[in-house]
Amino acid sequence: MDPIVAIIGKYFLGLIVVILIGYAAFQSLKQYQSSSGVSELTDRSTYISSNYLEQPKTSSSNRSVSILHARVSMGALAGDVRVAALCTLVLYIKFYAALFVQGTVKYKSGSRPPEDMTFAATTAPNKELFIPETSEDKLEAAKAREHRWNRIVGNDLENLPLGIMMAWVAIVAGGNGTVTSIAIILFTVSRIAHSIAFANAMFLPRTISFQVGALCTVALAINAVAGSFS
């Protein structure tokens, strides 16, 4: 690999780190110092209550309004929730797509349970896709591909839960909404890019996307802590 490309990638990643963490800290401090924050949340609560909820007539209605007010007062604004929910869904689909590929490549390496191999060889369409390789070179290549996808799935298991959790904690804790939305979007994109780069043996894109995702998780955690103390 060209060392110049590696150096540029390294310092570009450092620049992303500084910008992301600095922006998170600035927005969190701005939110903390804002004197209109409470009144803004109250206005949002009143608006949502008057437009989307009937006036409370029963104890059940009172509980609904109280829950809604608590949700708004914690900073879980509709836009942030939509972004986080959409990114969570995308990451969920991405993870199961990786699981599907992982399970499929195990047929060619002969690593599936015997009953799976028997079923695929006798009843599945396109049976040639599920028959283990017989030549030594192709079998080694199939095992290497299986190992690669095992590592992709393992990396997702290590990083996806924490990143998603930090995004929702930041929302509940009242962290800055802009920081939360940007960080979870970058986290989602970086995790998808990481899997693609890993599957295609692309070292630098894989490394950069992994570190960007990790830094987004850190930014979300900082935003959550700042929001909880604001």
- Residues 162-167, mean pLDDT to the nearest whole number: 96
Contact partners, residue 228, CB within 8 Å, separation at least 6: 173, 174, 175
For residue 212 the two structure tokens come to 């960007």
pLDDT for the residue numbered 181: 93
pLDDT for the residue numbered 153: 96
pLDDT for the residue numbered 216: 97
5 band by pLDDT with thresholds 50, 70 and 90 = very low
pLDDT for the residue numbered 83: 92
pLDDT for the residue numbered 115: 80
- The string of DSSP letters for 31-70 reads HHH-TTHHHHHHHHHHHHHHHHSPPP-SHHHHHHHHHHHH
pLDDT tens-digit readout, 94-152: 999 999 999 888 887 787 888 877 777 777 666 666 677 777 888 888 888 999 999 99
Please, what are the domains in the chain? 3-229 (1.20.120.550)
Return the SS3 of 77: coil
pLDDT tens-digit readout, 175-230: 898 999 999 999 999 999 999 999 999 999 999 999 999 999 999 999 999 998 87
- Cβ–Cβ under 8 Å, residues 133 and 108: yes
pLDDT for the residue numbered 223: 95
pLDDT for the residue numbered 132: 73
Residue whose entry in the numeric block shows the structure tokens 């959409």: 86
pLDDT for the residue numbered 46: 53
Query: Distance between CA atoms of 13 and 208, rounded to whole angstroms?
Result: 7
pLDDT tens-digit readout, 38-96: 444 455 445 444 544 444 454 555 555 555 455 444 444 678 888 999 999 999 999 99
- Residues 169-180, mean pLDDT to the nearest whole number: 91
Q: Which residues of 212-225 are buried (b: 16+ CB within 10 A; e: fewer)?
A: bbbbbbbbbbbbbe
